């Protein structure tokens, strides 16, 4: 039986993670090996298996590049070893992505492959800028052209100049003066609308518009860089009327998220939907603690302090062959809507949910509740506020540490981006401690934390966002001013507080 693997040539879209196809996400999740390019979405690899081999195989003008021959050799070697290989490319693999070349290499080598189309930047970047590539009465045809040619003679400028529709140039921002000049020399109207869309579909997207005659000069003046898409044609004039992506409330803002990656996806997704550029800077991760199976029948109150605690509680129940029915004899108390939702996913409706999503709030909510024996399900090292209050009320209390928060190393690139962000969000005291440790901070005051000379400090314009009082106290203990604190101490409250602050600035 053959042990040859299979290669998937997968388009990752133009940059917005929401434009990854369902098939692309499915293949990423199951791949043994992923060979990825530079222009894939930031979070494209988040769904990869923990044991998957992730290899950079991208190209960058003037920067780090992996030769095409080396990429193809890796692809063949891993497939011949029986691996499932995803060759992950920005945009679509068959639109200026050299996917055809790689497919021919695979066919020659006798290795089975599949092509998974992706959304191409020549359509999506322009759509996000409010520029349809075709529009009734303006353009009934569109031509996609590579702007990266070694010799202008490679393109038929006469044919392009006479083309009765929209011209879309990929990878041409560095040669825009030559492209525009060649079109005009071949007879294209110099007053025709033109535009360049930089970082299309990303939160940092911007559009520069002009005429064909003046677009190169304006792009140079505005310092537009790669990746960019250039459009020439009447449809470019619709951008001012139809632009929508840059009108989101957090457009142009960069927000760093420091919570554990497994818990950060919802926050990151919401921030992106609001238009923010998200910097994933997870400085903690959760780790399950070993322990015996759980028999909850002795407790008349079970307090669950976090979504992680809820999930791990049911793991302990399952280890004993039990499920939600085993909790029927106890009241269930939950801190915060996230915890309440996690319990609901396991079939439990919490009996007691405090208005304030803190241990102090739960203590207040339990003030008139008679408790004989309580179980507090939490993280190792949690605050003693709740157990102490229950004991003071006469209850016997068992604390069950189900998981712990451990330090997650932060890459130099992620740290640099987070330190320069417009906002940096903190969702626990542990994210504060570990982020500042990663930054090399041992702050003794505001100036040390924000303006230290060691190159590891928050920028002067960075706003510090806290999920609630406990996190804020940790920030102040480390010498940082809390610029924004959520009034509702959950992710939704943090988002609303950040939005309100951004609206005033």
Task: Give the 3-state secondary structure of 199-250.
Answer: CCCCCCCEEEEEECCCHHHHHHHCCCCCCEEEEECHHHHHHHHHCCHHHCCC
Which residues face 137 on adjacent strands? Answer: none
Residue 71 CA to residue 314 CA, distance in Å, equals 45
3-state secondary structure of 158: helix
3-state secondary structure of 338: helix
Give the up-direction half-sphere exposure of residue 332: CA atoms within 13 A in the CB hemisphere. Answer: 27
In eight-state DSSP terms, residue 462 is: P
Which residues face 231 on adjacent strands? Answer: 168, 195
DSSP secondary structure, 245-283, as one string: GGGSTTTT-EEEE-S-HHHHHHHHHHHHHTTPEEEE---
Residue 339 CA to residue 348 CA, distance in Å, equals 11
Phi, psi of 399, deg, nearest 5: -100, 125
- Residue 388 catalytic? no
Residue 445 CA to residue 304 CA, distance in Å, equals 36
Which residues face 277 on adjacent strands? Answer: 254
32, 59, 248, 483: the catalytic one is 59
Length of the chain: 505
- The secondary element (H helix, E strand) that includes residue 145 is strand 142-146
16, 37, 422, 490: the catalytic one is 37
- Virtual CA dihedral for 464, 468, 471, 475, nearest 10 degrees? 40
- The secondary element (H helix, E strand) that includes residue 198 is strand 193-198
Residue 238 CA to residue 130 CA, distance in Å, equals 7
Residue 417 CA to residue 460 CA, distance in Å, equals 14
DSSP secondary structure, 364-393, as one string: HHTTT---SEEEEEEETT--SHHHHHHHHT
Which residues face 378 on adjacent strands? Answer: 401
Residue 331 CA to residue 482 CA, distance in Å, equals 36
Residue 39 CA to residue 228 CA, distance in Å, equals 12
Could you tell me which residues come within 8 angstroms of residue 140 by beta carbon, excluding any fewer than 6 positions away? Answer: 134, 164, 165
- Residue 92 catalytic? no
Residue 4 CA to residue 64 CA, distance in Å, equals 31
227 preceded by cis ω (within 30°)?
A: yes
Enzyme catalytic residues: 37, 59
């Amino acid at each position: 039986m053959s042990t040859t693997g299979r290669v998937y040539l997968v388009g990752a879209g133009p940059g917005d993670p929401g434009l990854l196809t369902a098939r692309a996400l499915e293949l990423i999740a199951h791949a043994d090996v992923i060979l990825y390019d530079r222009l894939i979405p930031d979070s494209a690899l988040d769904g990869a298996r923990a044991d998957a081999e992730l290899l950079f195989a991208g190209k960058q003008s003037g920067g780090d590049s992996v030769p095409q021959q080396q990429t193809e050799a890796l692809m063949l070697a891993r497939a011949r070893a029986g691996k499932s290989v995803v060759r992950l490319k920005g945009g679509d693999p068959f639109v200026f992505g050299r996917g055809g070349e790689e497919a021919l290499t695979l066919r020659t080598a006798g290795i089975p492959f599949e092509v998974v189309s992706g959304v191409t930047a020549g359509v999506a970047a322009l759509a996000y800028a409010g520029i349809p590539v075709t529009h009734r009465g303006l353009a009934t045809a569109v031509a996609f052209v590579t702007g990266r040619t070694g010799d202008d003679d490679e393109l038929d400028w006469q044919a392009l100049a006479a083309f009765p529709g929209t011209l879309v140039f990929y990878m041409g921002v560095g040669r825009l003066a030559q492209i525009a000049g060649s079109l005009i020399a071949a007879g294209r109207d110099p007053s025709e609308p033109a535009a360049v869309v930089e970082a299309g579909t990303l939160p940092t997207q911007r559009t520069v518009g002009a005429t064909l005659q003046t677009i190169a000069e304006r792009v140079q003046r505005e310092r537009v860089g790669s990746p960019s898409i250039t459009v020439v044609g009447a449809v470019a004039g619709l951008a001012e009327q139809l632009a929508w992506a840059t009108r989101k409330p957090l457009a142009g803002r960069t927000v760093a998220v420091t919570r554990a990656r497994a818990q950060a996806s919802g926050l990151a997704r919401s921030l992106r939907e609001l238009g923010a550029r998200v910097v994933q800077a997870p400085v903690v991760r959760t780790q399950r603690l070993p322990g015996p199976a759980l028999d909850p029948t002795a407790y008349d109150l079970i307090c669950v302090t976090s979504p992680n605690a809820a999930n791990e509680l049911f793991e302990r129940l399952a280890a004993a062959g039990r499920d939600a029915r085993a909790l029927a004899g106890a009241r269930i108390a939950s801190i915060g809507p996230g915890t309440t939702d996690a319990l609901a996913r396991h079939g439990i409706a919490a009996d007691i949910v405090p208005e304030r999503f803190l241990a102090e709030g739960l203590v207040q909510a339990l003030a008139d509740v008679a408790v004989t024996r309580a179980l507090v399900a939490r993280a190792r090292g949690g605050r003693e506020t709740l157990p102490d209050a229950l004991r003071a009320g006469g209850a016997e209390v068992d604390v069950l540490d189900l998981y712990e928060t451990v330090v997650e190393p932060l890459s130099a690139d992620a740290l640099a981006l987070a330190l320069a962000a417009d906002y940096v969000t903190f969702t626990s005291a542990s994210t504060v401690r570990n982020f500042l440790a990663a930054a090399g901070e041992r702050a003794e005051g505001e100036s040390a934390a924000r303006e230290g000379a060691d190159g590891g400090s928050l920028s002067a314009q960075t706003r510090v966002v806290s999920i609630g009082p406990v996190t804020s106290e940790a920030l102040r203990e480390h010498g940082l001013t809390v610029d924004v604190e959520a009034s509702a101490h959950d992710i939704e409250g943090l988002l609303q507080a950040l939005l309100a602050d951004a609206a005033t600035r």
